[in-house]
Amino acid sequence: MPNSVPPLQAIHQKETEVRQRVETARQQAETRLQTAQQEAKRLITEADQAGRAEAEALYQQGLADTQREVAVLLAAAQTEAAALRERVLTKLAEAAEQIVQLILPAQRSD
């Protein structure tokens, strides 16, 4: 049994092997954890950027919709104002004529 290793030395060798495997496993786990954390940060950043871009797009769409609605309301208001102005001008001429008729006969009788 010249190749035979004394039991204490064999135990020591096994402990060393186990320690090395545990250390290797720990390092691999640490590396995986760091990779997972980096990936999580990257995904969070991407999601944040995508969310901001989507929010900006929705804001711009809402702004454009509101501007279109304001333009429609403004056009309707301008049309109504023009119609009212036309009606007032027509009535104004009639009112002026009636005032003239009321004043002129009163001046003739003086």
pLDDT digits (tens, 9 = 90+) for 9-54: 999 999 999 999 999 999 999 999 999 999 999 999 999 999 999 9
pLDDT digits (tens, 9 = 90+) for 82-99: 999 988 888 888 888 888
Each domain of the chain, given as residue ranges in start order, spans: 1-84
| Tokens of residue 53, six digits | 């871009």
> Are the CB atoms for 39 and 46 separated by under 8 Å?
no
Using CA atoms, how far apart are residues 16 and 95, in angstroms rounded to an integer?
115
Torsion of CA 5, 7, 8, 10, to 10 degrees: 60
